[in-house]
Amino acid sequence: MFPQTQKGRLKSGRKTLKFINYYLTCPLGQVFFMQESSPTLKISEKDNLWVALKDLMPGQQVIADDESFNLNEKIPAKHKFAGQDFSAGDLAYMYGVLVGEATCPIQAGDRITIENLIHRSAEFSSGKGNKSWASPSTKKWKNKTFLGYQRSDGSAGTANYWLVVPLVFCENGNIEILKRSMTKALGFDKRSQYESFAEELAKAYQNGDSPANVSLPLENTARPSPIFPNIDGVKFLTHGLGCGETRGISKELCGLLAGYACNPNVAGITVLSLGCQHAQVSILEEEISARCKNFDKPLLVFEQQKYPSEREMLEKAIRQTFENLAKANLQQRSEVPLSKLCLGMECGASDGFSGISANPCIGHVADLAVGLNGRVILSEFPELCGVEQEIVNRCESMEIGNRFIKIMRNYEERVKEAGSGFHMNPSPGNVKDGLITDAIKSAGAARKGGTSPVVDVFDYPGWVKKDGLSLLCTAGNDVESTTAMAGAGANLILFSTGLGTPTGNPISPVIKIASNSPTAKSFKEYIDFDTGSIIEGSESVESLGEKLLDEVIAYASGIKKTKADLQGRDDFLPWKRGMSL
């Protein structure tokens, strides 16, 4: 594996930073503790790019590697500046890895932009396999449990949902009919503040009153008590797949829906099928069996072309769903070990601080979860670009490492065939907030996976089978990735964000973690945890990661509800292989 971080000191600005003794070896070298007075950060000793922790002014002095220089221009917080002079063609490093190439001369103290740096990443090849790893102390949580729903296959849910899904887009309209018919009757409707606001505005216009006197309510209207209190919700999903595309894509859809049926957060599933589509019921059943041989949850299938009328099919679907909801409502939460947690790790709307605060914090939770014999899923393969060799070196065996290389290269080749590449992954928002190249973004994003060995690698839409850290090939698209991880068995998702995003998931609670305090405040409707204190220097990654794990236990137990869930964010987007990054 990687050498443990050594105690030491590094000059930053006119101040001195202390190394974090534990975090991070990840696979990307050291990260340093930031004191409140330190305005800049050099993440690894190998780096020649520095990070501005605050807005830095022209002429401000920086001390780098015992040499001082003045900044030549304003460096906004989160952005990078040159820690040395560059000639065109010189290579740039951050997190201890190659992240770019200078396209023109850059002076020490110049801001790094898309005009002077382009994406470059290191080559990678097979490794020998490595199982050596020292887990952080998990003594504090050794005897702790969470309140979950125990399933017959030995897994445990952090929630108890019922699913209603179509096998093909032709049934989306009927899914909507069921949703309108059942949600209010079951007590799961939630009247949003915006719906109430629009209705009051309509009344004002109708009555000739001034709309200026109508105010937006502060919160959503509380929903009535559900008929089935031990059911967390009935989730009605729609999508645009199932027929018309390649048979492979339809089969992948069946695999994804099978994963949702098998997810421990799901008590049962109602499926609507047209009958003639590519995504056949038989394929769904095969995919369910491949994930859970002794699947014993209710699987209610209604194929429209086998019924004399749509009315008869929908009547039967509603009736049987109600009957099985009553049975599922008999299930109750009970104490289960933390080893039953399966955490999906996600980042979205990332900024220049994500790889310094939120992602390492999530990564520490990943290491604690693995140390407690739990499961962790790291996805978003375009955001592992540039750290492939470090990932390969962490694989438990050469076979696992070679599987990762094969999947990674096949994905990138398909993207290139479509006229794109991993280098085009960063969004305009990423670039604006300091993530200039995909390698810079990826090196920070990879830290969500912590430092433990990689025990498995599987392609979309795979299913997690081993305790420890597994890699799942998905797009970097937030919703496609979270959708895939829930379909791979994640019963909780940790989602870091720097710029703010509302993304949620229908069945797997999404805990939203902000990389900085301003975003935590401006996106307070969706942010559950703030790691801004790491940037401010008042708290370490390790201590905040321990607090985050305590929060994870509360969310897993249903004691807390995530903001995305409270806002009704049920984002579901199957990955249509090809161009999506």
Cis geometry, peptide bond prior to residue 461 (ω within 30 degrees of 0): yes
Partner residues linked to 157 by β-bridges: 149
- Residue 331 CA, chain-centre distance (Å), reads 29
Q: Tell me the C-alpha to C-alpha distance, in Å, between residue 205 and each of 30, 57, 77, 210.
A: 61, 52, 46, 7
Mean pLDDT calculated for residue range 335-358: 97
pLDDT of residue 433: 78
Q: Work out the percent of the chain whose per-residue pLDDT is above 90.
A: 76
In the numeric block, the tokens 């007590």 are attached to: 187
Mean pLDDT calculated for residue range 291-296: 96
Mean pLDDT calculated for residue range 458-487: 97
Strand duo 91-94 + 97-102: pairing: antiparallel
* pTM for the full predicted model: 0.91
Min mean pLDDT across 39-48, 248-257, 341-350 is at 39-48
Mean pLDDT calculated for residue range 103-112: 96
pLDDT of residue 488: 98
Mean pLDDT calculated for residue range 259-283: 98
Confidence band of 580 (pLDDT split at 50, 70, 90): low
Partner residues linked to 82 by β-bridges: 49
Mean pLDDT calculated for residue range 94-100: 94
pLDDT of residue 30: 40
- pLDDT tens-digit map of 210-222: 888 889 887 777 6
Structure-model confidence comparison of residues 64 and 382, the more confident one: 382
Q: Which pair of structure tokens corresponds to residue 323?
A: 């009957």
pLDDT of residue 33: 40
Indicate if the alpha-carbon torsion angle 131, 136, 141, 145 is positive or negative.
negative
pLDDT of residue 578: 62
Mean pLDDT over all residues of the chain?
A: 90
Q: Which pair of structure tokens corresponds to residue 511?
A: 């805990």
Written in H, E and C, the secondary structure of 329-375 is CCCCCEEEEHHHCEEEEEECCCCCCCCCCHHHHHHHHHHHHHHCCCE
- pLDDT tens-digit map of 368-408: 999 999 999 999 999 998 899 999 999 999 999 999 999 99
- pLDDT tens-digit map of 175-211: 999 999 999 899 988 778 888 899 999 999 999 998 8
Q: Tell me the C-alpha to C-alpha distance, in Å, between residue 415 and each of 218, 382, 412, 420, 461.
A: 45, 10, 5, 5, 18
pLDDT of residue 313: 98
